[in-house]
Amino acid sequence: MRVKKQLVSIGLNVLAWLLSLVVLIPFVVIVLNSFKSDAEAKVLKLTLPVKFIFENYKIVYEQGHLGGSFFNSLLHSTASSLLLVFVVAFSAFTLSRNYSKLSKFLYFFLILGITLPLNYIPLMEVMKSLGMINSHVGMILLYTAMGIPISLFITYAFVSNIPKELDEAAIMDGCNGIKLFLRIIVPLLTSVLVTVFVLNFLSVWNEFTAPLYMLNTVEMWPMTLAVYNFFGQFSAQWNLVSADIVLTSLPVLIVFLIGQKYIVGGLTSGAVKG
């Protein structure tokens, strides 16, 4: 029986490694091609370059105008994620601790956005009427609103599992609502709030459709549109395109690696009743 369990475990590990290779091999090919010459990169093989050409990254940065695009993506991703964490934390705590029918209606109304598709045509008209087309503030607020349904769903489940006896004890010790939330609840929400931040950061950084509709000047473009534009100009030079993809992916990988342990903890802890 023990041998059978070990064989099953080994088999599952081998399967996991094979599935990982399916994801990793294309990325490794892109990284290697980013250091190759134009002729070598056109083959798209999993081989080391004859000579590592670091100049590709300099060309991409200068000709692709990635400095401004990187700042735009970083601003939109970071600001919207921080604002989302603030809004969702307060909302989840208020709605979960309030037993009125209005609170339940608001909660289900907000998370209904998880299933509803986003129609960009009327959204453009709303943004235009508010003067938020082609503006950083408009994009940050839009990304925050887009992230509320799923983020509230995750956070609400987590807050609901925090014993209400903690609230009563804190109130008896003299805490008001704000102090209770900031000193007692927020420290317990660290893992789920980091999860919300990382997931929203990744989503906003990779967003393509929203900026395509809402931003009409190159100076306002995020990294996704910069890569799209760069690919249109240099589609025949795979070494430069690969370098551009690597530069675009690096911030996302770094943020994910830093926050991965919180993502796992945040998603699982809110799903288990204590």
CATH number, domain at 132?
Answer: 1.10.3720.10
Kindly state whether residue 73 falls inside one of the protein's structural domains. yes
Question: What per-residue confidence (pLDDT) applies to 271?
Answer: 44
Question: What per-residue confidence (pLDDT) applies to 235?
Answer: 61
Kindly state whether residue 188 falls inside one of the protein's structural domains. yes
pLDDT digits (tens, 9 = 90+) for 5-57: 777 788 888 888 888 788 788 888 888 988 988 888 877 777 888 888 888 88
In angstroms, the CA 148 to CA 169 distance is 30
Q: What is the token pair recorded at 229?
A: 């534009």
| pTM of this structure | 0.81
Give the type of residue at 144. Answer: T
- Number of domains into which the chain is organized: 1
C-alpha count within 13 angstroms, C-beta hemisphere, residue 24: 6
Kindly state whether residue 75 falls inside one of the protein's structural domains. yes
Question: For 201-239, b where at least 16 C-beta lie within 10 A, e where not — what string?
Answer: bbbbbebeebbeebbeeeebbbbbbbbebbeeebeebbb
Kindly state whether residue 35 falls inside one of the protein's structural domains. no
Kindly state whether residue 196 falls inside one of the protein's structural domains. yes
Kindly state whether residue 12 falls inside one of the protein's structural domains. no
Kindly state whether residue 19 falls inside one of the protein's structural domains. no
pLDDT digits (tens, 9 = 90+) for 167-212: 778 888 777 878 888 888 888 888 889 889 988 998 999 899 999 8
Neighbours of 53 (CB within 10 A): 19
pLDDT digits (tens, 9 = 90+) for 104-148: 899 999 998 888 888 888 888 889 898 888 999 999 999 999 999
Domain that holds residue 157: 54-269
